[in-house]
Amino acid sequence: MAANLLDHDLEGLAAFCAELGEKKFRATQLFRWIHQKGASDFGQMTDLAKSLREKLESNACIQGLSVISQHESADGTIKWLFDVGAGNAVEAVFIPEDDRGTLCVSSQAGCAVGCRFCSTGHQGFSRNLTTGEIVAQLWFAEHFLRRHLHTGGERVISNVVMMGMGEPLQNYQALVPALRVMLDDHGYGLSRRRVTVSTSGVVPMIDRLGEDCPVALAVSLHAPNDALRDKLVPLNKKYPVADLLDACNRYLEHAPRDFITFEYCMLDGVNDLPEHARELAHLVQHHAGRGVSCKLNLIPFNPFPASGLVRSPQHRVQAFAKVLSDAGIVTTVRKTRGDDIDAACGQLAGDVQDRTRVDRRIAQQRTIVLRPVPADSTKEA
């Protein structure tokens, strides 16, 4: 069976070329053709010897993902749905801004974590993506956008965030080589500061990532205490808040940035009250006596029917942000992008067939109801 060269970082590609009896520098040439020039045909690779091209034709391929659909938002956001076989699909989203172009990439088909506020998690888990399937999202998007935007070969994607479908750190073996392709100067040449892995808190893998391939880290926190986070992020029962924050401090010893980004999805009457904000500020500033160097990113909830949750009103989001800012914590409110094409945070592939019967499994479990507080207690002061 032909090897898909998108599955290899440069070191892996060098090993593959060695198996073909070729020198290491051939791997670098091949790597550049694939990732810098977007080539998928070995015949295009004119500086490779004809004998090598013939070996590659017989033993290798450059196999991307089939595009099921493409949707472009009024704000310029583009969402692609990719076929990964057996009825499974994953999505990637390009978010253009004045000073950057960000691609949100998926790491799994579905997600096993099952956060209450995420429609992707509600559809359940199908399988991990391969390294090649992760890289293929960037490979396709970068070279499509160069043609679409007529850049003359100039790079379009400056930032990659592993914030699409799935928990990246539960697909660690495929993730790390994909990150190395993104970072490699012969590949996409992205800065470690501009590649972000988002995790719901897989503590042992946070430690491994810090050792193996430290990039920017975003942690889905969403609650200031274990009791509430247990209900919102089930993984918290295995890796509670204190353990998670300890891991964040260990990661900062290796990280390319001097802070961790904490993501906090704002849920009406559930985690968005002033007392939650005060507790959160105390948590990140005083954990283990020294706190965690961080930035807080408040995320508007993108509703879906099965969640039973509601987006926090804007006035409460701003009041929450003010408590954090007044405490000296850098706080941003994420601007929602791609709502009209269901490309916003937590919406990815929410309409894809549920292949793991998650609805049935949830119905068989004891339901935890998150009750909003009475309306009269949530008015602005």
Residues marked as binding? 111, 115, 118, 166-167, 198, 220-222, 302
Neighbours of 127 (CB within 10 A): 16
- Among residues 104, 213, 265, 345, which one is catalytic? 345
Residue 234: closest CA among 323, 365, 133: 365
- Among residues 17, 22, 91, 142, which one is catalytic? 91
For residues 346 and 300, what is the distance between their CA atoms, to the nearest angstrom?
Answer: 10
Long-range pairs of 376-381 with CB within 8 A, sequence gap ≥ 24: 378/269, 378/273, 378/316, 380/315, 380/316, 380/319
Tokens standing for 226? 């274990």
Rg of the chain over Cα atoms, rounded to whole angstroms, equals 22
H runs (alpha helix) in the chain: 10-19, 24-35, 50-59, 119-122, 131-148, 172-183, 203-212, 226-232, 241-252, 274-286, 314-326, 358-364
Beta bridge partners of 108: 128
Q: Residues forming the annotated binding site for S-adenosyl-L-methionine?
A: 166-167, 198, 220-222, 302
The answer to whether 102 and 162 are in contact (CB under 8 A) is: no
Strands 88-97 and 78-85: antiparallel
What is the number of residues in the chain? 381
For residues 151 and 202, what is the distance between their CA atoms, to the nearest angstrom?
Answer: 39
For residues 119 and 117, what is the distance between their CA atoms, to the nearest angstrom?
Answer: 7
Instruction: Calculate the dihedral angle through the C-alpha atoms of 282, 287, 290, 294, rounding to the nearest 10 degrees.
Output: -70
**Residue located via tokens 């549920």:** 354
The DSSP line for 242-286 is HHHHHHHHHHHTT-SSSSEEEEEEEBTTTT-SHHHHHHHHHHHHH
Helix (H) or strand (E) holding 22, with range, is: none
91 is catalytic: yes
Tell me the residue type at 337: R
Q: Residues forming the annotated binding site for [4Fe-4S] cluster?
A: 111, 115, 118
Tokens standing for 106? 């998926």
Residues marked active site are found at 91, 345
